[in-house]
Amino acid sequence: MRWKNTVLAVLAAAVSAGLWATPAMAEEGDVTWTVRTASNSLGADRSSYSYAINPGGTVSDAMVVANRGTAPLTLAVYAADGFTTGEGGLDLRNRTVAQTGVGAWATAGGTVTVAPGRTADVPFTVAVPADATPGDYVGGIVTSLTSPDTTQQVNVERRLGIRITLRVGGELAPSLAVSGLRVTYDGTWNPFAGGAATVSYTIENTGNTRLSATQVASVAGPFGWFRASSGDVPAPPELLPGESWPVTVPVADVPAALLLTGTATVTPLIVDPSGSRSMLAPVSAEATAWAVPWLLLLGLVVLLGLVALAVWLRRRRKAREDARVAAAVKEALATAAP
């Protein structure tokens, strides 16, 4: 399920009775119902659900389902844990997967039937276990309709849901780590022209709160010479506790300075349930890589070879001249002897 704005999500997952098939995505026009948050003492016109609950606490809320079709509609209703996809969006785990957070703690009625042109309230409860770990959790309340697709011989599930952001009370320990930093260098044929370096690393949320971040990468030669910066790097998505995000940053105009040091500096941003952010101390990591100017090095080797050859030839010529002079002197002495 990929969130549309902050509230609605549409997904079609395909599984037939006894037959597995490639998932088929639903078109938005196939969905004949909408969902929204209920207006109650917890808020009105909310775009999503946001709670702060202590371990052992409970909150009750509701979702409103509207049937825009011309026939009665019976939907399954359930909760699911959220996670960050490889594209950076928020998705919900399939209900067949074991749920460990919001998906396990939120309970709804199981099904709801809505007459055409009417709405129905779907109450649900979020009960946080007494031994729940403090920190941030994300999930959603989902309405689902499964129908057969005879052309694909699969059952297609269409889902609409609303996000639940939950902060369990207790000690918050935001923490972010940068690991696996690597630097690679791709030079040009011109040893005096800048090449391209790539700094890659992984950001990991090692704490218990949702985190975003700002980040910058740079590459420098020995002793900090020839420093080149990446400029602004796109921010990673908001990461849930335990999630990680791979980052690859290109850095242009990097000279072949023989040995490069790549540095990544990531500044974590805590995201609280209200959406505001606060900055933490930056986290840095660095690694080195060779950036050898091969053409220049080859030219230097050739030059040194020519110098060595010239010295050898000169010495050889001098040795021959010395030998000739010595032979002439010896001959002269032999002739002059009585």
pLDDT tens digits for range 230-241 = 877 889 999 999
Looking at residue 286, its pLDDT comes to 94
Residue 9 has pLDDT above 50, yes or no: no
| 181 and 330 assigned to the same domain | no
| 332 and 211 assigned to the same domain | no
When comparing pLDDT for 277 and 288, which is higher? 288
Do 243 and 276 form a contact (C-beta atoms < 8 A)? no
To which H or E segment does residue 324 belong? helix 294-336
Domain end residue (candidates: 149, 168, 187): 168
Looking at residue 195, its pLDDT comes to 82
| 239 and 268 assigned to the same domain | yes
Supply the DSSP string of 197-231, one letter for each residue: EEEEEEEEE-SSS-EEEEEEEEEE-GGGTT-EE--
Please state, rounded to an integer, the average pLDDT across all residues of the chain.
83
| 29 and 154 assigned to the same domain | yes
| 65 and 154 assigned to the same domain | yes
| 13 and 144 assigned to the same domain | yes
CA 277, 245, 243, 7 dihedral sign is positive
Query: What domain count does the chain have?
Result: 3
**Bridge partner list, 140:** 80, 163
Whether residue 287 is contained in a domain is answered as yes
| 286 and 319 assigned to the same domain | no
Boundaries of domain holding 141: 2-168
Whether residue 100 is contained in a domain is answered as yes
Tens of pLDDT, residues 251-266? 988 888 788 999 999 9
How would residue 14 be classed by pLDDT, with cut points 50, 70 and 90? very low
| 252 and 187 assigned to the same domain | yes
Looking at residue 231, its pLDDT comes to 77
Whether residue 222 is contained in a domain is answered as yes
| 268 and 132 assigned to the same domain | no
Mean pLDDT, residues 6-29: 34
| 335 and 225 assigned to the same domain | no
How large a percentage of the chain has pLDDT more than 70? 82
Whether residue 66 is contained in a domain is answered as yes
pTM for the structure as a whole: 0.76
| 132 and 188 assigned to the same domain | no
How would residue 137 be classed by pLDDT, with cut points 50, 70 and 90? very high
